Amino acid sequence: MHLFPQTPHFAIMAWLFAGLVLLLTLASGVGYALNRRHGAQRSAVVDNLNARIRAWWWMVGILGLAFAFGQDVTLALFAVASFFSLREFISLTPTRPGDHAALVAAFYVMLPAQYLLIASHWYGLFVILIPVYGFLLLPLLSAIGKDTQSFLERAAKIQWAVMITVYCLSYAPALLMLKIPSDPGGDALLLFFLIFVVQVSDVLQYVFGKMFGKTLIAPTLSPSKTVEGFIGGALSATVLGTCLWWATPFRPWQAGLIAGIIVVMGFCGGLVLSAVKRSLGAKDWGSMIEGHGGALDRLDSVVFSAPVFFHLVRFFWT
């Protein structure tokens, strides 16, 4: 299914990805120059930066293929991302044999059902399947296992895992369900706008933090997050989001306001999931992506920003 070549927005998408490739090429050149300059004495920051750039090449390539081949491939990509994120969450969360039925339902019923509802554009059930029926079903399945040890804690962890890694993350590709009268066919560009602003904000907060960071925001949760890094990265990402207004149904000031909201929600997601990681005694959710930890380390900003962005657009533009 080729969704985007059939729309007038295909050329815009192609130019946006060409711009990303150019930026990554420049970033790779900078990383190579820093490696050459520092040689064996290069710092951990340089190594981390190059690892992030390499990971970005993979992510942009995968996203480019998904956008090029349309809605079905995009949904499949996010479903796989949900699967690995859910697996990472559950791997760090102690479970017991009595939870096996609930875990099977989470991975093989709730997850595929959520993405199938997006594919069928069934918004009414999509928005309540997990927070209502999943919320009731998952602890019931654990209760049937007849294991009451730490039952409330175990049930809450499974519910939280599904809500974060499946329900909240699915709101990103759910943007493809939205039909904006003033901008038909622009739903894919909304998804690009969300991912671009979230990820650019993360990268720029890291860069500004390493360059100017002095004041830690929450040292017990995330020792790398600083006030200076957040302000510099947030403002820069908001400006870049504003500059993309022409590829969205938003006016410039609206694009800037929404980009700012996405940045703030993304930061909150990173902070909350950092707290969850620390409570589980882990530094990263996994080691799936070199330089980025696990899949959920890369998506923690998306899971908080995607639902808010989706409902803002649906309420004001559809």
Condensed to tens digits (0 to 9), the pLDDT of residues 187-198 reads 788 888 998 899
Instruction: Find the range with the poorest average confidence among 47-51, 164-168, 242-246.
Output: 47-51
Kindly tell me if the per-residue pLDDT of 268 is higher than 90.
yes
Q: Which residues contact 261 (CB under 8 A, 6 or more apart)?
A: 305, 308, 309, 312
Q: Is the pLDDT reported for residue 104 higher than 90?
A: yes
Q: Residue 154 and residue 151: Cα distance in Å, rounded?
A: 5
Residue 220 CA from chain centroid, whole number: 23
Question: So what's the pLDDT on residue 24?
Answer: 75
Please compute the mean of the pLDDT values over residues 82-91 and round it to a whole number.
Answer: 92
Nearest in space to 67 (alpha carbons), one of 199, 238, 186: 186
Specify the pLDDT at position 1: 42
pLDDT given for residue 4 in this prediction? 46
pLDDT at 128: 96
| pLDDT, averaged across the chain | 84
Burial class (CB in 10 A: 0-12, 13-18, 19+), 8: exposed
d(CA 108, CA 286): 21
Q: What are phi and psi of 216, to 5 degrees?
A: -70, 140
Res 277 pLDDT > 90? no
Rounded Cα distance, 168 and 176, in Å = 15
Q: Phi and psi dihedrals of 186, rounded to 5?
A: -90, 10
12-16, 117-121, 176-180: least confident range:
12-16
Structure confidence at residue 295 as a pLDDT band (50, 70, 90): confident
d(CA 129, CA 181) in angstroms, rounded, equals 27
- Residue 138 CA to residue 143 CA, distance in Å, equals 9
pLDDT band at 17 (very low <50, low <70, confident <90, very high): confident
Give tens-digit pLDDT for 126-152.
Answer: 999 999 999 999 999 999 988 888 899
Per residue in 196-248, pLDDT (tens digit) is 899 888 888 887 887 787 888 877 777 778 888 899 989 999 999 999 888 88
pLDDT of 3: 45
pLDDT of residue 208: 84
